[in-house]
Amino acid sequence: MKEFAIYTGLRAALFAVCFAVVWFALNAQLSVFPLLLLALIVSSILSIFVLRAARERLAGQIERRATKMSQRIEQARSAEDED
């Protein structure tokens, strides 16, 4: 769960930075909604490259948890078969 919180926090921080940059770059000439949309698009593209390591750590954690769960289910299934 820690990796999820870290990755989500980094995504939020990246979005906030992108929004601030877009806001100051355009001198608030647009209304808030287009600025939010533009910041969302830019931060989504940047996150592909900037947050790669954090995303891979999160994916590894999810994979480990899924493997453990699959093993537990298989152990329970084989225990039922033995009974």
Q: What does R_g of the chain's alpha carbons equal in angstroms?
A: 21
Q: What is the pTM of this model?
A: 0.76
| Strand, helix or coil for residue 29 | coil
Report pLDDT for 31.
86
Domain ranges, ordered by start, for the chain: 1-78
* C-alpha–C-alpha distance, residues 10 and 18, integer Å: 12
Q: Mean pLDDT in the chain?
A: 90
Per-residue pLDDT reduced to its tens digit, 34-49: 999 999 999 999 999 9
- Which two tokens mark 83? 């009974």
Take residue 68 and report the two structure tokens written for it: 């453990």
58-79 per-position pLDDT tens digit: 999 999 999 999 888 888 888 7
